């Protein structure tokens, strides 16, 4: 009887730690996605900046 309860508790804690690990992986995944999106935004902003600079230099030359 005692062994059965111990075994169940052990299984439950393993199950919970597995859920926790999956949850952590998911959070890391979300964080990486956020970083990727931020990088894309920075890239777009730099792109806009360089095109603005090109337009400004063309405007200065004319």
Where are the chain's structural domains?
A: 1-55
d(CA 25, CA 35): 15
Q: What is the CA radius of gyration of the chain?
A: 27
Decide if pLDDT at 1 tops 60.
no
Q: What is the pLDDT of residue 12?
A: 74
Q: What is the pLDDT of residues 3-62, one digit of tens each?
A: 666 666 677 777 788 888 888 899 999 999 999 999 999 999 999 999 988 898 888 887
């Amino acid at each position: 009887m005692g062994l059965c309860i111990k075994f169940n508790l052990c299984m439950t804690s393993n199950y919970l730690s597995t859920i926790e690990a999956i949850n952590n992986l998911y959070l890391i995944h979300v964080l990486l996605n956020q970083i990727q999106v931020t990088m894309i935004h920075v890239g777009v902003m730099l792109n806009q900046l360089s095109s603005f600079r090109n337009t400004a230099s063309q405007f200065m030359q004319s």
